[in-house]
Amino acid sequence: MSISVSGSDPGLKGSKSGRNGSEGSLSPVYQLVVTGTVTDEKGEALAGVNIIEKGTTNGTSTDVNGNYSITTITKEPVLVYSFIGFETQEIIVGNKTTINVVLRESVSGLDEVVVIGYGTARKRDVTGSVVSLSGDVMRDIPSSNISYSLQGRVPGVELSQVSTKPGVSMQIRVRGTRSLNASNDPLLVVDGIPFSGSISDLNLNDIKSVDVLKDASATAIYGSRGANGVILITTIKGQDRQKPQVSYSSYVGQKTVFAPYPMMNGPEFVALRQAAGKYTNGVDESDDVNIDWQDLFYRKAMTTNHNLAIMGGTDKGNYNFSVGYIRDEAVIPCQDFNRFSLRGALDQGVGKFFRFGFVSNNNYSISNGYNLGLYNVLSSSPIANPYNEDGSLKRTIKMPLDENWVQTRKTVEALGDKWIDQTKSFGTYNNLFGEFKVPGIEDLRYRINVGANLRMSTGGSYTGEGVFSYNPTNPSVASVSNSLTTNWVIENLLTYDHTFSLKHRLNVVGMYSAEKTHFHSSYISAKDIPADAFQFYNIGRAQGEITVNPDYQNYYETGLISWMGRAMYSFDNRYMITATLRSDASSRLAPGHKWHTYPAVSLGWNMKNEQFLRNVALIDLLKFRVGYGQTSNQSVDPYSTLGRLSTRPYNFGNTYSIGYYVSQLPNYNLGWEYSLTYNVGLDFSLLNNRLSGTVEYYITNTKDILLSVNLPGTSGVQSYMANIGETQNKGVEFSLDGVILNTSGGLTWEAGVNFYANRNKLVALASGQERDEANWWFVGHPIDCIFDYEKIGLWQEGDPYLDILEPGGNIGMIKVKYTGDYNPDGTPARKIGPADRQIISLEPDFQGGFNTRLSYKGFDFTAVGVFKSGGTLISTLYSGAGYLNMMTGRRNNVKVDYWTPEHTNAKYPNPAGVLSGDNPKYASTLGYFDASYLKIRTLTLG
Q: CA–CA separation, 584 vs 558, rounded Å? A: 13
Residue 36 has pLDDT above 80, yes or no: yes
pLDDT at 594: 92
Cα dihedral 22, 26, 32, 33 sign: negative
Model confidence at 106, pLDDT cuts 50, 70, 90, reads low
Q: Which of the pair, 287 or 43, is modelled with greater confidence? A: 43
- Residues whose CB is less than 8 angstroms from the CB of residue 349 and which lie 6 or more positions away in sequence, other chains included: 240, 316, 317, 355
pLDDT per residue as tens digits for the range 842-855: 999 999 999 999 98
pLDDT at 6: 37
For residue 52, the enclosing domain spans: 3-103
Residue 58 in domain: yes
For range 321-349, the mean pLDDT: 96
For range 568-592, the mean pLDDT: 94
**Which residues partner with 546 through β-bridges?**
526
pLDDT at 393: 92
Residue 74 in domain: yes
pLDDT per residue as tens digits for the range 656-684: 788 888 888 888 888 888 999 999 999 99
Beta pairing class for 317-329 and 336-350? antiparallel
Q: CA–CA separation, 161 vs 157, rounded Å? A: 13
pLDDT per residue as tens digits for the range 419-433: 999 999 999 999 999
Q: CA–CA separation, 420 vs 334, rounded Å? A: 9
Q: CA–CA separation, 614 vs 830, rounded Å? A: 71
Residue 86 in domain: yes
pLDDT per residue as tens digits for the range 460-485: 999 999 999 888 999 999 999 999 99
If we measure between CA atoms, which residue out of 424, 438, 433, 282 comes closest to residue 364? 424
For range 288-297, the mean pLDDT: 89
Cβ 832 vs Cβ 805: under 8 Å: yes
State in Å, rounded, how far the first CA of the chain is from the last one: 28
Backbone angle region of 798, left / alpha / beta, with phi > 0 → left and psi within -120 to 50 → alpha: left
Q: CA–CA separation, 685 vs 692, rounded Å? A: 4
Amino acid at 408: T
pLDDT at 13: 38
Q: CA–CA separation, 581 vs 629, rounded Å? A: 9
Model confidence at 46, pLDDT cuts 50, 70, 90, reads confident
DSSP label at residue 45: B
Q: Among 278-282, 698-702, 915-919, whose mean pLDDT is lowest? A: 278-282
High-pLDDT (> 90) share of the chain, %: 55
Model confidence at 207, pLDDT cuts 50, 70, 90, reads very high
Residue 803 in domain: no
Residue 806 has pLDDT above 50, yes or no: yes
Residue 563 has pLDDT above 90, yes or no: yes
Residue 147 in domain: no
Q: CA–CA separation, 175 vs 117, rounded Å? A: 19
Model confidence at 25, pLDDT cuts 50, 70, 90, reads very low
Q: CA–CA separation, 190 vs 343, rounded Å? A: 13
Residue 23 has pLDDT above 50, yes or no: no
Residue 699 in domain: no
If we measure between CA atoms, which residue out of 842, 728, 837, 703 comes closest to residue 780? 728
Q: Which of the pair, 322 or 767, is modelled with greater confidence? A: 322
pLDDT per residue as tens digits for the range 121-142: 877 788 889 999 988 888 888 7
Residue 755 in domain: no
Model confidence at 358, pLDDT cuts 50, 70, 90, reads very high
Cβ 738 vs Cβ 752: under 8 Å: yes
**Which residues partner with 935 through β-bridges?**
866
pLDDT at 273: 76
In three-state secondary structure terms, 278 is coil
pLDDT at 496: 95
Residue 167 in domain: no
Number of folded domains in the chain? 1
Q: Which CATH number characterizes residue 42's domain?
A: 2.60.40.10
Model confidence at 164, pLDDT cuts 50, 70, 90, reads confident
Q: CA–CA separation, 482 vs 707, rounded Å? A: 30
In three-state secondary structure terms, 893 is coil
- Residues whose CB is less than 8 angstroms from the CB of residue 248 and which lie 6 or more positions away in sequence, other chains included: 306, 307, 308, 309
Enclosing H/E stretch for 141? none
Q: What are phi and psi of 125, to 5 degrees?
A: -95, -10
